[in-house]
Every structure is written in C-alpha cells, then in structure tokens.
C-alpha cells in the first residue's frame, strides 16, 4: 500500500502483474485489472483519509 499525502490518495497493489484496464467504481475509487480481467490494484484517490484511518492502518494475516 502506498499513500500519497499530497493528493490524499492510496494505491493498494494486489498482484505483481501489469494493469491492462482501469475501471471507475465511483468518483473516489478505481480498480485496475490485468489482461485476463483479474484484479491487480485498488486506487482510492482524493479524500482517501475519509475511508482509511492511516494512523492505525495495519495488515493482518489470518490462518486458513
């Protein structure tokens, strides 16, 4: 996850594959898809801090 404070944007990289298409979900959210239509990234742009509390953001891995 990368936070860009100058634009208050967050990019969450989910896969090590290039993006072939970007789809707008709403005015603050885009998703990036690879050539096969699989999700590779999520872009929360402009006002990301309204959706994510960056002061306490953490990643937790659950056992399967």
The number of folded domains in the chain is: 1
Residue 11 within a domain:
yes
Whole-prediction pTM: 0.79
- pLDDT per position as a tens digit, 40-58: 999 998 888 887 787 777 7
The DSSP call for residue 1 is -
Q: Domain limits at 24? A: 2-50
Sign of CA dihedral 1, 40, 17, 24: negative
Residue 15: inside a domain? yes
Structure confidence by residue, pLDDT tens digits, 28-44 = 999 999 999 999 999 99
* CA-based torsion, 10, 16, 20, 25: positive or negative: negative
Q: Is 61 within the bounds of a domain?
A: no
CA distance 41 to 16: 9
On whether residue 19 sits in a domain, the answer given is: yes
């Amino acid at each position: 996850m990368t936070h860009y404070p100058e634009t208050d944007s967050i990019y969450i990289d989910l896969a090590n594959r290039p993006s072939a298409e970007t789809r707008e979900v709403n005015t603050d959210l885009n998703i990036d898809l690879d050539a096969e239509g699989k999700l590779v990234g999520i872009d929360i742009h402009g006002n990301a801090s309204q959706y994510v509390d960056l002061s306490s953001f953490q990643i937790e891995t659950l056992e399967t």
